[in-house]
Amino acid sequence: MTSHSASLPLVSLGTSPDYADRMIPALAHAMLPNPTWAVLFGSDLGPNPSVEQRLDRYASVIKDNLNCLGVESSHSHPSSFSPSTSCPATPFILESGNSTTFALIHPPYTHSPPPSPDSDPLPRTAILPTKQHTIWDTHGQNHYHLVLMGRDPRTPKAPGAVRAIMQDLLGRAQESCSPVWLETTSETAKGMYEHFGFEVVGRGVVGGCGVWCVVWYPEGVV
């Protein structure tokens, strides 16, 4: 499936291995400059891991996140909500900018139950109560989760690619009346999301680095 605006790059939606194969190296390189990823996923690599070691680890983490592509959830949809072209029944990738910019999306009713602080293997327990209160207690499974998003820094910027993906995602969320949840470790990215109408609803600290909890609400939904 593709969508586009006359002034923006095409956006394609996919769940195939080809999409994953393009996304993994792009986002692994995008993670390199952000020290929080090393805290979250590279603490066992030693104090001075090589670029190659970090890329391998980040690629492995991204690949693990992509194992859900095209896999239908066991969660049942209420009678008032049915998957559609705008809201697929499985996690998917949005791609734009000549395969330079990617986002991994979990649509409504595809989410794993929230982990408890004791069972979460990552040092991010500070943000779990925020998601529980903001999303799970109010909206349950009816929300989008923007899991990963990034641009391949090895390639020239494709003007409008990020905007194209965001407009595609938010259009889907508005149609299904579903909020969009994400977490970001980048203050620059936080500002970008705020520009698109997201609200910061919480902040945690992971290894001395900030993690912001951010939500976009469709019109008429709080």
Does position 76 have pLDDT exceeding 60, yes or no? no
Q: Please report whether residue 222 resides in a domain.
A: no
**What local confidence, expressed as pLDDT, does residue 40 receive?**
79
- Give the rounded percent of residues in the chain with a pLDDT score beyond 90: 63
What number of helices (H) and strands (E) belong to the chain?
7, 8
Instruction: Determine the Cα–Cα distance for residues 222 and 217; give it in Å rounded to an integer.
Output: 6
Q: Please give the order of strands across the beta sheet that includes 11-14.
A: 2-3, 11-14, 92-96, 101-106, 144-151, 180-184, 209-216, 199-206
**What local confidence, expressed as pLDDT, does residue 89 receive?**
83
Helix intervals (H) in the chain = 17-31, 35-41, 51-65, 128-131, 137-139, 161-176, 187-195
Domains in the chain: how many in total? 1
Instruction: Determine the Cα–Cα distance for residues 106 and 146; give it in Å rounded to an integer.
Output: 7
**What local confidence, expressed as pLDDT, does residue 185 receive?**
87
pTM score, whole prediction: 0.88
Does position 214 have pLDDT exceeding 90, yes or no? yes
**What local confidence, expressed as pLDDT, does residue 65 receive?**
92
Q: Please report whether residue 85 resides in a domain.
A: yes
**What local confidence, expressed as pLDDT, does residue 131 receive?**
87
Per residue in 140-199, pLDDT (tens digit) is 999 999 999 999 999 999 999 999 999 999 999 999 999 999 999 889 999 999 999 999
**What local confidence, expressed as pLDDT, does residue 83 receive?**
55
Is residue 31 within 8 A of residue 65, CB to CB? The reply is no
3-state secondary structure 158-216: CCCHHHHHHHHHHHHHHHHCCCEEEEECCHHHHHHHHHCCCEEEEEEEECCEEEEEEEE
**What local confidence, expressed as pLDDT, does residue 86 receive?**
65
Q: Please report whether residue 16 resides in a domain.
A: yes
Instruction: Determine the Cα–Cα distance for residues 166 and 154; give it in Å rounded to an integer.
Output: 22
Across residues 71-78, what is the average pLDDT?
A: 65
**What local confidence, expressed as pLDDT, does residue 36 receive?**
81
pLDDT band at 1 (very low <50, low <70, confident <90, very high): very low
Q: Show Cβ contacts of residue 212 under 8 Å, excluding neighbours closer than 6 positions.
A: 183, 184, 185, 187, 190, 200, 202, 203
pLDDT band at 82 (very low <50, low <70, confident <90, very high): low
* CATH number (domain holding residue 113): 3.40.630.30
Q: Please report whether residue 221 resides in a domain.
A: no
Q: Please report whether residue 181 resides in a domain.
A: yes
Does position 73 have pLDDT exceeding 60, yes or no? yes
Q: Please report whether residue 56 resides in a domain.
A: yes
For 78, half-sphere exposure in the C-beta direction (CA atoms, 13 angstrom radius) is 8
**What local confidence, expressed as pLDDT, does residue 85 receive?**
59
Instruction: Determine the Cα–Cα distance for residues 201 and 192; give it in Å rounded to an integer.
Output: 15
Does position 119 have pLDDT exceeding 70, yes or no? no
Q: Which domain holds residue 186?
A: 2-216
Instruction: Determine the Cα–Cα distance for residues 176 and 24; give it in Å rounded to an integer.
Output: 29
Query: Whole-number mean pLDDT of the chain?
Result: 86
Q: Which of 77-86, 118-127, 133-142 has the highest mean pLDDT?
A: 133-142
Q: Please report whether residue 193 resides in a domain.
A: yes
Across residues 112-134, what is the average pLDDT?
A: 70
